């Protein structure tokens, strides 16, 4: 094919030869197609360049971008702030309610106490007991009446809030997540073809150019957000009567014998009464003194004795002597290596007349 083109005469000669043969149209066509060979190649080059520029612009526009933004920040400050305000309002409401309720309780107490104070009744103010000197029994009782306010004996119940307990539990949670992916595919192709032929009646050339461009983009963006704020408020309140208010009691006055118990010093009891030998017991001597209503010694009278600690032993005659006294010897055995003093209350009675003394032995 190339050899045929190189042996072909110039265009002028081919045109003349064509005139002689009587077929000038063949020479004209060959000359036109020969001249169009370079133009076709230039056109194909321009087309390919244009297609490449378009593909580059398209690729620039479709440059992969990050799928989705970053997940939102998980911050529980707002939930905690809201919960703090709610708890503060709760505490404030409870405090004001307790104060208001206590004020109403105190107001009711004042009004009731006023009514009771203005109401007067005849009551036993003093009860006088006259005791016999002989045996300590009551001879008679004298009642002293007096008009006193009713509140002296009927005290209204005073209530107060002894305990108000508040508790708050909060559970705050915030979670944010974001995930995704982006898949992009592109395909680009360009082709050019030039062909020619030479025959008896002339030469012919043909050319073709083609381009193809395809792109696909697949993207998935998923986000999750969780915001939870839960709380529990608990309150316990105790309303009870006040224990520091008691009803007044009438005075009891006794006229008769008088009894008192005197406590002596604690002494050691040695084995066989020998101070050089080990201590076997501890001893305390008590003296009960009984006198008549006139202050005279009350001789030869029986006295009852009771001791709060049953581990202690005592000895006594059980009655007063001529001076109105009775001796009580209280003893405790000593335990080796673990001896500790004990305390007890000793009560001496003569009928309704009693006297109590505390001892440590």
Return the closest-CA partner of residue 29 out of 171, 205, 261, 287: 205
Has residue 320 got a pLDDT over 60? yes
Mean pLDDT to the nearest integer, 264-272: 89
Q: What pLDDT score does 61 carry?
A: 55
User: What is residue 109's predicted lDDT score, i.e. its pLDDT?
Assistant: 86
Helix (H) / strand (E) element for 98: namely helix 77-118
Query: Which of 20-29, 328-337, 346-355 is predicted most confidently?
Result: 346-355
Dist. CA 135–CA 66, nearest whole Å: 113
125: CB partners within 8 A, 6+ apart: 144, 145, 146, 148, 250, 251
Supply the mean pLDDT for the chain.
75
Distance CA 207, CA 195 (A): 6
User: Residues of the chain with pLDDT > 70: what percent?
Assistant: 63
The whole-model pTM stands at 0.42
Question: Nearest to residue 115, comparing CAs of 156, 159, 148?
Answer: 156
Tokens 């002494």 -> residue: 267
Longest distance between any two alpha carbons in the chain, whole Å: 194
pLDDT of residue 50: 66
Spatial distance between the Cα atoms of 74 and 53, rounded to a whole number of angstroms: 46
Q: Residues 286-307: what's their mean pLDDT?
A: 93
- Residue 252, Cβ neighbours under 10 Å: how many? 10
10 pLDDT band, cuts 50/70/90, is very low
Higher pLDDT, 28 or 319: 319
Tens digit of each residue's pLDDT (9 = 90 or more) over 72-118: 666 667 666 666 667 778 788 888 888 898 899 889 888 988 888 88
CB atoms within 10 A of CB 85: 10
Residue 298's pLDDT is what?
92
pLDDT category at 145 given cuts 50, 70, 90 is confident
187-204 residue pLDDT tens: 666 666 656 666 666 666
Distance of alpha carbon 174 from alpha carbon 72, whole angstroms:
10
Structure tokens at 65: 């971008």
Give the number of residues written for the chain.
361
Write down all domains in the chain, each with its CATH number in brackets: 64-255 (no CATH), 257-360 (2.60.40)
């Amino acid at each position: 094919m190339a050899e045929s083109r190189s042996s072909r005469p110039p265009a002028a000669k081919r045109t003349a030869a064509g005139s002689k043969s009587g077929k000038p149209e063949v020479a004209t066509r060959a000359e036109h197609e020969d001249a169009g060979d370079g133009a076709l190649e230039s056109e194909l080059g321009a087309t390919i360049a244009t297609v490449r520029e378009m593909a580059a612009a398209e690729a620039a526009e479709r440059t992969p971008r990050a799928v989705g933004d970053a997940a939102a920040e998980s911050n529980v400050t707002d939930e905690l702030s809201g919960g703090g305000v709610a708890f503060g309002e709760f505490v404030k409401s409870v405090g004001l309610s307790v104060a208001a309720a206590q004020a109403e309780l105190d107001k009711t107490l004042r009004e009731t106490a006023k009514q009771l104070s203005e109401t007067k009744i005849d009551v036993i103010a003093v009860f006088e007991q006259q005791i016999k000197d002989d045996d300590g029994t009551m001879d008679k009782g004298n009642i002293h009446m007096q008009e006193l306010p009713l509140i002296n004996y009927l005290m209204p119940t005073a209530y107060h809030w002894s305990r108000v307990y508040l508790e708050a539990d909060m559970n705050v949670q915030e979670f944010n997540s974001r995930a995704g992916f982006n898949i992009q595919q592109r395909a680009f192709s360009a082709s050019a073809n030039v062909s020619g032929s030479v025959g008896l009646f002339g030469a012919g050339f043909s050319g073709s150019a083609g381009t193809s461009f395809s792109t696909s983009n697949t993207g998935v963006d998923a986000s999750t957000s969780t915001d939870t704020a839960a709380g529990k408020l608990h309150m316990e309140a105790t309303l009870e009567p006040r224990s520091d208010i008691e009803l007044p009691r009438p005075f009891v006055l006794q006229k008769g014998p008088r009894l008192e118990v005197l406590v002596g010093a604690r002494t050691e009891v040695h084995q066989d009464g020998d101070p050089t030998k080990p201590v076997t017991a501890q001893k305390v001597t008590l003296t009960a003194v009984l006198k008549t209503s006139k202050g005279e010694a009350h001789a030869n009278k029986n006295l009852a004795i009771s001791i709060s600690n049953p581990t202690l032993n005592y000895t006594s005659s059980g009655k007063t002597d001529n001076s109105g006294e009775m001796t009580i010897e209280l003893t405790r055995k000593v335990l080796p290596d673990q001896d500790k003093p004990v305390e007890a209350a000793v009560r001496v009675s003569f009928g309704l007349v009693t006297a109590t003394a505390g001892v440590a032995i």
